[in-house]
Chain A
C-alpha cells in the first residue's frame, strides 16, 4: 500500500482492526485476507461517504449527519447503523492496555429516566418570521436572522422563575426574600438565567439612593456566588464591579447621615473578599484590578471620606497582604488629609469629622490586623526557614494561620522568588507593583506607631494577639507581648525589633536603599519644619504621636534622631516626614480649607500642596493605567 497518499487523503482502517472484528465474530483471518478486507472496507467507506454527501447538499446543510450516512447505506442496500443519531458529540476513547479505541457507550438508567420529574419540554414550534431586511436595496433595518429577543429563548418556566425571584428579592416581604435567596443559593437549573440576574445586580447604580435595595442586591450577589451549580465565568467581573460600586461610591444614600451606609460598605467588602476567594480564579488579573481601583480611591483626596472608608474596608477584607501593599504605603500621605479633617473642630465640620473617625477606626483595625498577621507569617516562615525546628505541626499551623492573609493562591507568581520573604509577595504581578518591597515588621510597627500611638499599641496587646497560633510562635509572642508595657518597655521592645529582623532576612538597610533616590525635595522641607514639631504636643489628645514615635534608635543621638528618621524614610515615605511636621506649623492652614469646603460635604480639604505633588509625581509613575 502506498500509505503516503492514502493517509493524506483518507482515514484508513488498519488490518489489525479487521482482525479484531473478525475475532469478536469468531473468525480467524489470515494476514492477506485481513489486508484485502481492510482495503475494501476503506473503499466502501469512502464510497458511502461520497454518496452521503449528496444528501447533505440537498438538505442544504454544511454538516454531514449520521442520518445522511445511513441514507447512503440504505440506498446501497446495506444495513444502516443504529444508535448514533444523537446530536451530542460521541467521545472516542482509547484504552491503553488493549490498544483499543471505542466509542463510549454509557448506560442509561431507564427507571431514572422514566421517573424523572423534570421532563424536558418539547422543541419549540417551527415558525416563519418575516421582516424587511433591506429597503430599496439599502440599509439593514434590523439584524436579520436573530431570534427576536434573547428572553424568548428562555423557557416559560425559567422566565416565570426569574420574575418571581426578582420580585421576591426586591419586594417588601423580608420572609419572601429570604426564601428566594435561599433558593437562588441552591437551585441547580438557573444557569440560563445567570446573565439576567447579573444584569439586575448591575442595577445597583440606579438605586444608589436606596440602601435597602442595595442590600438586597448584595444579598442576591451572595446567593449567586454561593450557588454551587453556577459557573460564574466572566460574570464575576460584572458582579465584582457591582459590589465595588457599593463599597467605593459616594452613594446617594450617604448624604443623609442617618443612613447606615457604613454597614453596607462593610458587608459589600466582606462579599468582595468572598467572591474573590471563591471565584477569583475565574478572571485573571482580578486581584490587581481590585487593588488598583481601591488604591486609586484611597489616593484621591477629592473623594469623600465614605469612599475612603470603603477602600480601607475593602483592603482589609482582601487580607493583610493587600493592606500592606496598598494601605500601608499610602498611609503617610493619607494621614495628612485625615488629620486635617479630624483636627477641625468647627461645627460645620462635625459630620465630616465623624466620618473621619470612621475612617480612622477602619484604618486602625486594618493596620492592627496587618501587624498581627505579619508577625504570625514571619514567625511561621522563620520557623520554616530554620529547618522547621518546631516540627511539622508548628510549621503547618503557622502556614495555615498565615494563609488567609496571603494573596490568592490562583494568582500566579510573576516575580522570581526573592528569598524566604518571597511568598509574601505572591500576586505581585504587573509593573505597578514592582517597586514595592516588603517592610520589616519592626519598621512597620515603628511607623504605624508613629501614627496611631498608644491606641495601636494597646489594641495590639489586648487583642487576641497573634491569632490562634501562639504555640507556633513562642519566641515572637514573648517578644511582642512585651510591647504593651510602659514607655520604657516600649523603648526596649522597639530596640529589640531590629534584632529580630536580622533573623528574618529582611534587613532594614536593604529596604531603605532603593528608596533614597527621590529624596531631595522632601529632604529640603523636612528639617525646616522639624522645628515646629514640638508644638504639636498640645494638640494631640488621643494620639499624641510625636513623643512616642521618637524612639531614639541606638545608633544616633536624640537631636539627630528626627532627622535620621526622615532620612530613613525619605525615599518612599518622605511625606511621612512632612506629615509629622505638617501638623504643627500650619494649624490654621489645615483647618481653614476644610471649613471652606465644609459646606460641600464629605470632601476632605485639599490641604497641603506637597501631598498632592507627591500624589501626582508618585502616581503618574505608579499607575500607568
Chain B
C-alpha cells in the first residue's frame, strides 16, 4: 500500500490540471485580484487566494479553513484580495462564477499545496500548462474568452468573404481529382472560421448570407456542429458557446500530402488571398506528409471529429498493450472438481491445458508493460480464491466462433419508467447493478444467493471470532433479500461499476460526485468530489483499487479508492467525456468523448498516447479486446470502429446498427464482438476475422493510411432483436454466455 501511495502522490504534485476549460464565461477570479506575478510560485499563490475568495463567497467556510491549513497561508494576505474582489465584481454577477473554473482551480491548488508542502520543485512538464499560465498571465485583466475570441477581431471586407470562399471553392473543384479530395478538407474549417469572423465583427447579415450560401457544401457528418453554428449570429452569443471555443482554442488538424499543399499555397499566393491564408496560418494545423494523396474514402474514414484528425505525432508514443503476467496460483484439484471432470470423461485434458496456461504466463510479453510499472494492489486470499474459481470456469468455457455463437440471456428491467441509465455485472455474473434516473442505485443478486448486510457493530461484538465460519456469522440473515437499494446521490446515476472483488460498487452521477459503496454493508463509503459537473461514466480498474471517471468538465480523473483526490487528471478532450474504460493491463485508460475522438491515456504519467478520430458522433461505448491489442468504439451514428492500439490505426468499421451503440463487449477469448444498441438489437461480429484481415496486410503504419475493407456484412454474424428494449449493457460470463440488459420500453 505504501508503495502505491508514493507512486500516486509524486505525480500528483507534478501533474497540474489542464485548466483550459473554455466554458467559464464571466469572470476568472484567479486573475482579478493579483498583481503580475513574476514567478510561478507566486502565480500559484495568487490562484490559491482566488480560490479561497471564491469559496468564501460561496460560504464554503470549512473548505476555506482546510485549504488554509494545508497551504500554510496566513490569514492577512487573503483578506485583502477577498474584499477587493467583493468590491470589484458585482455580487450577483460574480456569484455565479463558473464552477468549472473553481473546480479546476481547486484541484490545482490542492496540487500546488502538496508540492509546496513537500517543498518539491514545481516541474511543470506539459507545454499546455505553461501555455495556459502564459495565457492567463497575459490576459490578466480580461476574461479568458475575450482573449480567445479577440483573434477574430481582424477586419477584412465582410462582403468579400463570399468571394474569397467561392474563389477557393472554384479552385479546389478545378484541380486534379487526386488533390481535390484532400483540399476539400479545407472547406469545413475555413467555412466555420470565416463565419465566426463575420459574426464576431458584427456583420450579422453577411454572416447569415455566407452561412446560407455555403453550409450546404459541408460534409453531412458536420451537420450537428453546423446546427449549433447557425443559431449563433451575434457576438454576445459567442461567449460561453462551447463548440465555438473548442474551435478557437484548438487548431483544426488537416493531413494533406505535400503536393496538394504546394498546389494550394501557390494558388493562394498568386491570388494574394490573404484572408484565407491568414486563417490557414492561424487556425489550422496542416500536417504535411510525403507520398500519394489520400483518396476521398480514406479521408472520410478518418475525419469527422471536432478538431480534425489527430496529428501524426500524437500516435507515435509506444503503448505497452500486452497483458501483465498473471500471478502463479496453484490450482488445487479438489475432489468434487475431479469427479465432475470424470463424469465428463476427460479428466486428463485439464492438466495439459493448465500447463500451457502456466507456461504462457511465465513468458513476458514483449509488448507488456513492466509488472510494476504502476503499483498494483497485492492479491488477497479471497482474490486468489476467486482467481482459482475463474480458472476453473475458464476450462469450461465454450470456444466461440462463427459456427458456435453464444447463447444470449436478456435481463429485462421492468417498471423502470424510462429511468434506467446504467447497468453493470460483476465479472462472475453473480450480481447486477442498475443506476437510475431517480438517483438510486439498485443491486440485484442474479444467483439464488440473497444479498445480506453485515451485522451491526453491537451484534458483531458477540460473535466468536475464532470460529471457522466467522465470515458467515457476521452476515445478518434478517436482511437477506434479492435486491438492495443504495440511496445517496442527488441526481441521475449515469455510470456504475463493480470492483473486481465484488466488495465495492462505484456510481457516478449528475450531482458531480462518484460514490463508493460497500456491498457488505450496502452503505456509501466515500463520495469523491472533484468533477463538479455531471459525471457520465466511471469504471474500476481490472485490478481494483484505481478507478477512472469522466464527465461534462472534459477532464477524466484517475482515482484510488483510498484517496479523496484524483491521482491523475487527463485533460485534452474538447467535449464531454462520455465513457471511460481501463485497459486490461490497468496501465492505460481510454476515454470517448462528445468531440468525437477517443483518447488513450497513460496512467503512469498522464500523457495522452493515442488520439483516434473517425467517428461522426459522440462516442458512447468502448471495449478493449481481452488481449489488450485492440479497442472497439461505438457512437451515436450507429457505427462501431476497431482500432489497433500498437500502431494507432483504425482497422475496421462495422456498420449495421441504426442507432446509438451503447454497449460493446468482446467475448472472453476475443473472437466475438457483441454490440448492443438503442435500436433494440444485439449484433455479433466476427472480431477474429476483422483483426486477422488487417494483420495479414502489410501495415502502412508510417503513413497511417489504410484502406478499410468494407466487409461489415461478412463480419456480421447475427442480429438479435429484442421486442422493445434498448440494449444498454453487455457482458460475457466466464463461460462465454452473453448477458444483455436493458429496460423494457412500453410505448
Contact B442 A2 (CB under 8 A): no
**Which residue of chain B has its CB nearest to the CB of A36?**
B234
In whole angstroms, how far apart are the Cα atoms of A528 and B410 in the complex? Answer: 81
Contact of A129 among B405, B412, B536 (CB under 8 A): B412
Given that A47-B241, A123-B417, A144-B722 are known contacts, is A130 also in contact with B678, CB under 8 Å in the complex? no
Instruction: Mark out the residues of chain B between 219 and 237 whose CB falls within 8 Å of any chain A CB in the assembled complex.
Output: 227-228, 230-234, 236-237
Most chain-B CB neighbours within 10 Å: which of A57, A67, A124?
Answer: A57
Given that A5-B208, A134-B720 are known contacts, is A127 also in contact with B414, CB under 8 Å in the complex? yes
Given that A5-B212, A54-B594, A146-B723 are known contacts, is A134 also in contact with B407, CB under 8 Å in the complex? yes
A93 on the B face (CB < 8 A) = no
**Which residue of chain A has its CB nearest to the CB of B211?**
A5
Interface membership of chain B positions 409-420, coded 1 if the CB is closer than 8 angstroms to chain A and 0 otherwise: 111111111111
Contacts of B234 on A, CB cut-off 8 Å? 39-40, 43
Instruction: Mark out the residues of chain A between 282 and 315 whose CB falls within 8 Å of any chain B CB in the assembled complex.
Output: none
Q: In whole Å, how far is A577's beta carbon from the nearest beta carbon of chain B? A: 64
Contacts of A61 on B, CB cut-off 8 Å? 418
Q: In whole Å, how far is A447's beta carbon from the nearest beta carbon of chain B? A: 61
In whole angstroms, how far apart are the Cα atoms of A135 and B409 in the complex? Answer: 8
A609 on the B face (CB < 8 A) = no
In whole angstroms, how far apart are the Cα atoms of A63 and B205 in the complex? Answer: 35
Contact A130 B415 (CB under 8 A): no
Contact A63 B418 (CB under 8 A): yes
Contacts of A129 on B, CB cut-off 8 Å? 411-412, 414
B541 on the A face (CB < 8 A) = no
Contacts of B96 on A, CB cut-off 8 Å? 77
Instruction: Mark out the residues of chain A between 124 and 141 whose CB falls within 8 Å of any chain B CB in the assembled complex.
Output: 124-138, 140
Given that A43-B234, A60-B678, A136-B406 are known contacts, is A145 also in contact with B722, CB under 8 Å in the complex? yes
Given that A59-B421, A75-B534, A126-B442 are known contacts, is A132 also in contact with B724, CB under 8 Å in the complex? no
Contact of A128 among B407, B411, B494 (CB under 8 A): B411
Interface membership of chain A positions 49-65, coded 1 if the CB is closer than 8 angstroms to chain B and 0 otherwise: 01000110111111100
Contact A133 B409 (CB under 8 A): yes
Contact A5 B230 (CB under 8 A): yes
Contact of A54 among B209, B416, B576, B721 (CB under 8 A): B576
Contact of A43 among B232, B409, B483, B678 (CB under 8 A): B232
B670 on the A face (CB < 8 A) = no
A85 on the B face (CB < 8 A) = no
Instruction: Mark out the residues of chain A between 359 and 383 whose CB falls within 8 Å of any chain B CB in the assembled complex.
Output: none
**Which residue of chain A has its CB nearest to the CB of B224?**
A50
Instruction: Mark out the residues of chain A between 44 and 88 whose CB falls within 8 Å of any chain B CB in the assembled complex.
Output: 46-47, 50, 54-55, 57-63, 67, 71, 75, 77
Contacts of B404 on A, CB cut-off 8 Å? 136-137
Q: In whole Å, how far is B539's beta carbon from the nearest beta carbon of chain A? A: 15
Contact B232 A128 (CB under 8 A): no
Instruction: Mark out the residues of chain A between 96 and 144 whose CB falls within 8 Å of any chain B CB in the assembled complex.
Output: 123-138, 140, 143-144
Contact B408 A125 (CB under 8 A): no
In whole angstroms, how far apart are the Cα atoms of A128 and B211 in the complex? Answer: 50
A175 on the B face (CB < 8 A) = no
Given that A2-B212, A63-B418, A75-B534 are known contacts, is A46 also in contact with B231, CB under 8 Å in the complex? yes
Given that A123-B417, A129-B414, A144-B725 are known contacts, is A136 also in contact with B660, CB under 8 Å in the complex? no
Contacts of B414 on A, CB cut-off 8 Å? 124, 126-129, 147
Contact A9 B415 (CB under 8 A): no
Contact of B536 among A58, A133, A147 (CB under 8 A): A58
Q: In whole Å, how far is A370's beta carbon from the nearest beta carbon of chain B? A: 53
Contact of B660 among A5, A57, A134, A138 (CB under 8 A): A57
Given that A71-B510, A128-B414, A137-B718 are known contacts, is A57 also in contact with B725, CB under 8 Å in the complex? no
Q: In whole Å, how far is B26's beta carbon from the nearest beta carbon of chain A? A: 10
Contacts of A140 on B, CB cut-off 8 Å? 720-721
Q: In whole Å, how far is B57's beta carbon from the nearest beta carbon of chain A? A: 14
In whole angstroms, how far apart are the Cα atoms of A198 and B545 in the complex? Answer: 61
Given that A128-B432, A128-B444, A132-B407 are known contacts, is A2 also in contact with B205, CB under 8 Å in the complex? yes
Given that A5-B230, A57-B660 are known contacts, is A145 also in contact with B418, CB under 8 Å in the complex? no
Contacts of B717 on A, CB cut-off 8 Å? 137
Q: In whole Å, how far is B740's beta carbon from the nearest beta carbon of chain A? A: 8
Contacts of A55 on B, CB cut-off 8 Å? 492, 510, 534
In whole angstroms, how far apart are the Cα atoms of A46 and B232 in the complex? Answer: 10
Q: In whole Å, how far is A1's beta carbon from the nearest beta carbon of chain B? A: 9
Contacts of A199 on B, CB cut-off 8 Å? none
Contact A132 B618 (CB under 8 A): no
Contact of A131 among B236, B410, B434 (CB under 8 A): B410
Contact of A138 among B405, B417, B746 (CB under 8 A): B405
Given that A57-B636, A75-B533 are known contacts, is A145 also in contact with B412, CB under 8 Å in the complex? yes
Contact of B406 among A9, A124, A137 (CB under 8 A): A137
Contact B413 A2 (CB under 8 A): no
Contact A145 B723 (CB under 8 A): yes
Contact of A60 among B211, B417, B420 (CB under 8 A): B420
Q: In whole Å, how far is A123's beta carbon from the nearest beta carbon of chain B? A: 6
A10 on the B face (CB < 8 A) = yes
Given that A126-B415, A128-B412, A134-B408 are known contacts, is A143 also in contact with B446, CB under 8 Å in the complex? no
Contacts of B322 on A, CB cut-off 8 Å? none
Contact B492 A59 (CB under 8 A): yes
Contacts of A144 on B, CB cut-off 8 Å? 410, 412, 721-723, 725
**Which residue of chain A has its CB nearest to the CB of B408?**
A134
In whole angstroms, how far apart are the Cα atoms of A126 and B725 in the complex? Answer: 15
Given that A39-B234, A143-B723 are known contacts, is A132 also in contact with B227, CB under 8 Å in the complex? no
B734 on the A face (CB < 8 A) = no
B744 on the A face (CB < 8 A) = yes
**Which residue of chain A has its CB nearest to the CB of B436?**
A126
In whole angstroms, how far apart are the Cα atoms of A54 and B510 in the complex? Answer: 12
B514 on the A face (CB < 8 A) = no
Q: In whole Å, how far is A177's beta carbon from the nearest beta carbon of chain B? A: 36
**Which residue of chain B has its CB nearest to the CB of A62?**
B678
Contact B662 A60 (CB under 8 A): yes
Q: In whole Å, how far is A59's beta carbon from the nearest beta carbon of chain B? A: 5
Contact A147 B744 (CB under 8 A): yes
Contact of A126 among B228, B411, B416 (CB under 8 A): B416
In whole angstroms, how far apart are the Cα atoms of A373 and B416 in the complex? Answer: 62
In whole angstroms, how far apart are the Cα atoms of A55 and B511 in the complex? Answer: 12
Contacts of A47 on B, CB cut-off 8 Å? 231, 241
B67 on the A face (CB < 8 A) = no
Contact B723 A123 (CB under 8 A): no
In whole angstroms, how far apart are the Cα atoms of A133 and B721 in the complex? Answer: 9
Given that A43-B233, A60-B678 are known contacts, is A130 also in contact with B722, CB under 8 Å in the complex? no
Contacts of B212 on A, CB cut-off 8 Å? 2, 5
Contact B410 A135 (CB under 8 A): no
Contacts of A39 on B, CB cut-off 8 Å? 233-234
B437 on the A face (CB < 8 A) = yes
B728 on the A face (CB < 8 A) = yes
Contacts of A138 on B, CB cut-off 8 Å? 405
- Using A47-B241, A126-B415, A128-B412 as known contacts, list a sample of 14 further A-B pairs with CB atoms less than 8 Å apart, ordered by residue number in A: A46-B231, A50-B228, A54-B552, A55-B510, A58-B421, A62-B678, A127-B483, A128-B414, A130-B410, A130-B446, A134-B405, A137-B404, A137-B684, A145-B744
Instruction: Name 19 A/B residue pairs within 8 A (Cβ), A-sorted.
Output: A9-B231, A39-B234, A43-B232, A46-B231, A57-B618, A58-B494, A59-B492, A60-B726, A124-B415, A126-B442, A128-B412, A130-B409, A131-B409, A133-B722, A133-B740, A134-B718, A137-B404, A137-B684, A146-B723
User: Which residues does B use to contact A, with CB under 8 Å?
Assistant: 96, 205, 208-209, 211-212, 227-228, 230-234, 236-237, 241, 404-421, 432, 434, 436-437, 442, 444, 446, 483, 491-492, 494, 510, 533-534, 536, 552, 576, 578, 594, 618, 620, 636, 660, 662, 678, 684, 717-718, 720-726, 728, 740-741, 744, 746
4 tightest CB-CB pairs across the interface, nearest first?
Answer: A137-B405, A145-B723, A145-B725, A124-B415
User: Which residues does A use to contact B, with CB under 8 Å?
Assistant: 2, 5, 9-10, 39-40, 42-43, 46-47, 50, 54-55, 57-63, 67, 71, 75, 77, 123-138, 140, 143-147
